[in-house]
Every structure is written in C-alpha cells, then in structure tokens.
Structure 1
Amino acid sequence: MGEARALMDRLTEAVTTKPDMEVVAGLFAENAEAVTPDGGELEGRDAIVAYWRSMTEAMTETAFTTLYTFDTEDTAIDEGVFSGRNTGPIELPTGEILPATGKEIRIRGVDLAQVADGRIVSYRLYFDQMEFLGQLGLLPEA
C-alpha cells in the first residue's frame, strides 16, 4: 500500500466510522487545498477541518462503501457510496442553516487525495448535491 492510499483510507475512517477532527487535521498539509460541491474551494488545513467538522456534526451513523479505488505514487482515488442520517443542522455556503431532517441518505461520490511529504496537499470531493438534498426532502415538490 502506498502513502497516498494509506492517507486516503485514514481520512475516510476519520470522517465516517470514527469521526475525529484531530486525525483529519494531522492528515492535511497546513497549506492544503480542497474543492467540494457544497463547500466550494477551501484554502488551508483549518478550512478543510471546519468543513469536515460541519459534515460530521450534520451526518451521523455514517459509512463509506468503496466501489472502486485507483492509486498512483502520489494520488489515491475512491469511488463509493456514502450513507448516513441527517441528525444535525446543515450550513449552506450562503450561511443559511437547514434544520436536521432525521432522514437517511445514500449517495455515490468520488474523492481524490494528492499527497506530498506525508500529508494531503490537494483534495477533491464530488457528489450530486441535488440527489443529496432530494434524499433529505429539501427540494420543492415537482
């Protein structure tokens, strides 16, 4: 197992089965960059940790089922299904707060982690926001 795969696997565990923001902080370089569909572009470790803290407080009983993985020397890519229950408020990029719905979700997504010097320096997360909001019952009726 390469360094990128080891860091990606630790990140997945730290944001799903055993949420731990100290572990998340230790995985990212201080000047790391991340892009997420719901948080946009995040600059720096603190912003990335704040994003994951918000997500782990909003979604509990979480799991990630890996469907496909791909690794290079410095990059790990996972495709899988994220599941959980919305038990906490969700903060939108606008600052608006959505109350917890109590609903369960299952969404397919892809994330990529590029590493250098033992830390994640670039992270990308992709998932369908409309599917996420729809499963939470937060979209208007058709």
Structure 2
Amino acid sequence: MSNVTNVTDDLINAMNAHDLEAALRCYTDGAVYVSPVGVGEGRDEIASFLGAFLTGFPDVCWTPWNSIVVCGNLVITQWAITGTHRGPFTMPNGETIEATGRSVNIRGCSLRTMDGERIAVHCIFYDQLELYAQLGAELVFKGP
C-alpha cells in the first residue's frame, strides 16, 4: 500500500474476494469500526462485524463510486453494495433475520481516518430502513 487511497482499493478488493484476513491487514491493531450495528475495537471485533456481514450476504460485492482525501488523513468513499441474503444477519437491536433469499442494493459512504497507511477509525453509514425493506422487514410503530 503506497498511500492512503490504495487502502480503499485493498479493502474493497479483499471484501469482494471475501478474504477477511486481507481486509484486516488494512486496519491498525487498535482500529475502531463504527457502523449502524455497533462499534468494534481492535481487529478481532472488526473481524466479527465484517465476518457477520459476509455470512449474511456471502455473494456481497462492494462498488466504490468515488473516494476523496480530506485534510491529509481522512478518506471519504461513496459506495454501493449488492448481494443476496443467504445467511443470518443481525439487526442493530440484536435480533437476527434468517436468510430470505432476497437481493439487496444499498448505497452508503465510509469515512476512514488513517494512521500512516492503515485505517485507524472506520465509520460506515447506510440507510438501514432501505436495507430492512429490501429484506422484507416491516417497520412497526409502537406508539409514544
């Protein structure tokens, strides 16, 4: 990895190859991963988050739209993911949605703070309602 933008390519290529070990090499030992599902600290917890996604969507494919470097060590990437829900997927409330066989196409963005040529903080954002609707989940209003 010769510079911070190459890390984006390395991470996306590793995830598209479903190579969790290669993906984890993109992170510092004490990296923090923040997603709608929760926060992971260190490579072991990050592996748990990324692995759970690969389990739920084993054919997942990330497509980056564009990446920019802001202020030297902050990289922002817009992306889309496509895949088929073929395994259990944990929702932010801790409930698990079993495989539905449904296809998903979700847009999102990542903000990564770099430490040298590794990711120190990785925050991802996507529309959870869009994902859950594509999985067939229903929004239930329980009242005030």
Q: TM-score range by the shorter chain?
A: 0.7 to 0.9
> Which deviations, in whole Å up to 9, do the C-alpha atoms of 1:46-91 show, x marking residues without a partner?
1111100000111122222222221243232111211111111112
**Unaligned stretches of 5+ in structure 2?**
none
**Unaligned stretches of 5+ in structure 1?**
none
TM-score in terms of structure 2 length: 0.87
RMSD: 2.1
Q: Which amino acid aligns with 2:57?
A: M
TM-score in terms of structure 1 length: 0.88
> Percent sequence identity over matched residues?
27
- How far the C-alpha of 1:113 sits from its partner, in A, is 1.6
- Cα distance in 1 for partners of 2:122, 2:3 equals 15
- Number of residue-to-residue matches in the alignment: 140
Aligned pair partner of 1:69 in 64, 67, 70: 67
Residues 1-142 of structure 1: pairs in structure 2 closer than 5 A: 3-15=3-15, 17-38=16-37, 40-72=38-70, 73-140=72-139
Contact 1:4–1:113 (Cα < 8 Å) also in 2: no
> Which deviations, in whole Å up to 9, do the C-alpha atoms of 1:71-114 show, x marking residues without a partner?
24323211121111111111234443211011000011001222
